[in-house]
Amino acid sequence: MTAPTRQRVDLGERSYDILVGDDLLASAGRHMAPLLRQPRAIVVTDATVAAIHLAAMERSLADAGIAYDAVVLPPSEQTKDFGHLEKLIARLLDMKVERSTTLIALGGGVVGDLTGFAAAIVLRGIDFVQVPTTLLAQVDSSVGGKTGINMPHGKNLVGSFHQPRLVLADTAVLSTLPRRQLLAGYAEVVKYGVIDRPEFFTWLEGHGMSVIDGDAGARQHAVIESCAAKAAIVAEDEREAGPRALLNLGHTFGHALEAEVGFGDELLHGEAVSIGMVLALDLSVRLNLCPAEDAARLRRHLAAVGLTTGLDCVQGRIWNPQRLVQHMARDKKVSGGWTTFVLVRGIGQAMLSDEVDMTDVEAVLTDSLPA
């Protein structure tokens, strides 16, 4: 076992480390112990992850002398709602959670977002640690402190910024992740290359298939580079007053698609982001900002690894561009009636614009409909 790679997220007194490595679950307790305010933690996870990885987490906590309880939630995007948040908080209070108890989010983005939000509000805020088990959570949702839940009105509309004390990304746990979930997470990896890391995008063109197929070195490199990219942006703009919004590349389109299909298995978050990024680049080309070749290059790479790249990739669904535009109007990134879009001048040159005419957006959506 090699030593984990350490990436600092620099946020003053809220700074923390992301550790990326193979077999980190076995030493999780040892890494957490010095940070805990009392030797007690409550692990929050979902039933699928619990069946595969909870025992290893519990062993490592016991080995480090940390007392623990566990709460197991249903594995679904639907779990990220007020009803489950209330039940989770009631369980924590039943377990006599104290202000010095630490929550451990063991799972994907759903568990991480919900647990982080519970940690932000129970007893007016307690510590939590992220142990992300999906690729998406390792490269994105576990880093940066965005926590929250969905509403029938849209994704992540209720939540708070609450930074974890530590992120432990064990790339070995990705070996049990279904390929479809892995691919969905890979979309967020590609996102960093498109935003401001053109060399990383080129590396992904050469090694993306190895990342997907399970090459340990390639996976670690992809997670480390992604975490470094996200840490840099979050350190510059923790609360999304400016450049952090670049991380929403593909999300304005993507969230509209997710809202339309109802946050289910029909379209995973990362799949929606994959299509959303292609649409964002198509929009950039339409607005004469970006060379058409860069949009084609993104589409080629996403398709080469097996990701969804257009509305025609969602079998049996008839999309209505006007309805999708209406969903965008309800997005939390709307300000003064204007939706902020992440556009690009090319691969690695993302920019923000709140001056996009929605008729251009509708035209891009219409052009991407199946013929």
User: Is 230 part of the annotated catalytic residue set?
Assistant: yes
Nearer residue to ligand NAD within complex by CB, 51 or 296: 51
- Min dist. Cβ of residue 283 to ligand GLY (A): 19
Considering the rule CB under 6 A, would residue 244 count as an interface residue with ligand NAD? no
Nearer residue to ligand GLY within complex by CB, 144 or 348: 144
Residue of 146, 155, 221, 301 marked active site: 146
Considering the rule CB under 6 A, would residue 331 count as an interface residue with ligand NAD? no
Alpha carbons 328 and 338: distance in angstroms, whole number: 10
Neighbouring residues of 162: CB distance < 8 A, sequence distance ≥ 6: 116, 117, 119, 120, 125, 128, 145, 147
Q: Count, in order, helices (H) and strands (E) of the chain.
A: 14, 13
**The binder of ligand GLY chosen from 114, 247, 278, 307 (CB under 6 A):** 247
H/E segment holding residue 275: helix 269-286
Considering the rule CB under 6 A, would residue 255 count as an interface residue with ligand GLY? no
User: Is 345 part of the annotated catalytic residue set?
Assistant: no
Considering the rule CB under 6 A, would residue 162 count as an interface residue with ligand NAD? no
What type of residue sits at position 224?
I
Considering the rule CB under 6 A, would residue 113 count as an interface residue with ligand GLY? no
- Mark 327-357 as b/e (b = at least 16 C-beta within 10 Å): bbeebebeeeeebbbbbbebbbbbebeeebe
Nearer residue to ligand GLY within complex by CB, 50 or 223: 223
**The binder of ligand NAD chosen from 27, 156, 163, 339 (CB under 6 A):** 156
Nearer residue to ligand GLY within complex by CB, 29 or 108: 108
Beta bridge partners of 149: 158
- Mark 148-167 as b/e (b = at least 16 C-beta within 10 Å): bbbeeebbbebbebbbbbbb
Q: Which of the stretches 5-13, 122-130, 172-180, 330-338 binds ligand NAD when contact is defined by CB under 6 A?
A: 172-180
User: Is 188 part of the annotated catalytic residue set?
Assistant: yes
Burial of 324 per CB tally in 10 Å (0-12, 13-18, 19+): buried
Nearer residue to ligand GLY within complex by CB, 144 or 276: 144
Considering the rule CB under 6 A, would residue 164 count as an interface residue with ligand NAD? no
Angle between the 179-196 and 292-305 helix axes, to the nearest 10 degrees? 160
User: Is 248 part of the annotated catalytic residue set?
Assistant: yes
Angle between the 198-213 and 179-196 helix axes, to the nearest 10 degrees? 170
Contact string 130-149 vs ligand NAD (x = CB under 6 A): ---xx-xx--xx--x-x---
Maximum pairwise Cα distance, the chain: 61
Other CB atoms within a 10 A radius of the CB of residue 142 amount to 31
- Min dist. Cβ of residue 146 to ligand NAD (A): 4
Q: Could you give phi then psi for residue 148, rounded to 5 degrees?
A: 160, -175
Report the catalytic residues. Answer: 124, 146, 188, 230, 240, 244, 248, 251, 255, 269
Q: Which residues bind ligand GLY (CB under 6 A)?
A: 140, 144, 146, 244, 247
Q: Which residues bind ligand NAD (CB under 6 A)?
A: 46, 48-49, 52, 75, 77, 80, 107-111, 113, 133-134, 136-137, 140-141, 144, 146, 155-156, 173, 176-177, 181, 184, 269-270
